[in-house]
Amino acid sequence: DLHNISDIPKPRYVRVNTLKVDADSAYFELKKNYEVRKDDVVPDLFILPPGTDLHKHPYVINGSLIMQGKASSMVAVALAPEPGWEVLDACAAPGNKTIHLAALMKGKGRVIACELDEKRFERLKETVRLAGACNVQPMQGDFLALNPEDPSFSKVRAILLDPSCSGSGTAVDRLDHLLPSHGTGGSATAGEMSRLRKLAAFQKKVLEHAFSFPAVERIVYSTCSIKQTENEDVIKCVWPIAESYGFELATALPTWSRRGLPVIDGSEHLLRTDLVEDKEGFFIALFVRKGNHRVSIS
Ligand code: SAM
How do residues 197-219 score in pLDDT, each as one tens digit? 999 999 999 999 999 999 999 99
Could you report the per-residue pLDDT of 244-261, keeping only the tens digit for each? Answer: 999 999 999 999 999 999
Determine what percent of the chain is predicted with pLDDT higher than 90.
Answer: 84
Q: For the purposes of burial, counting CB atoms within 10 Å of the CB of 140, is it exposed (0-12), middle (13-18) or buried (19 or more)? A: middle
Segment 99-119 mean pLDDT: 98
Task: Print burial letters for 114-125: b (CB count within 10 Å at least 16), e (below 16).
Answer: bbbeeebbeebb
Please give the Cα distance from 283 to 268 (Å, whole number): 12
Write the CB contacts of 6 (distance below 8 Å, at least 6 apart in sequence): 172, 173, 175, 176
Write the CB contacts of 157 (distance below 8 Å, at least 6 apart in sequence): 81, 85, 86, 87, 215, 216, 217, 218
Could you report the per-residue pLDDT of 218-227, keeping only the tens digit for each? Answer: 999 999 999 9
Angle at which helices 232-244 and 190-211 cross, to 10°: 20
Task: Kindly state if the Cβ of 162 falls inside 6 Å of ligand 1.
Answer: yes
Q: What is the pTM of this model?
A: 0.93
As beta bridge partners, residue 65 has 16
Ligand 1: which of 74, 100, 116, 118 to mutate, judged by most atoms within 8 Å of the beta carbon? 116
Q: Is 147 annotated as a binding residue?
A: no
Please give the Cα distance from 106 to 102 (Å, whole number): 6
Domains in the chain with CATH codes:
8-66 (3.30.70.1170), 70-289 (3.40.50.150)
Segment 94-102 mean pLDDT: 98
What letter would DSSP give residue 86?
Answer: E
Please give the Cα distance from 54 to 35 (Å, whole number): 13
Ligand 1: which of 73, 97, 101, 115 to mutate, judged by most atoms within 8 Å of the beta carbon? 115
Ligand 1 centroid, distance to 271 Cα (angstroms) = 21
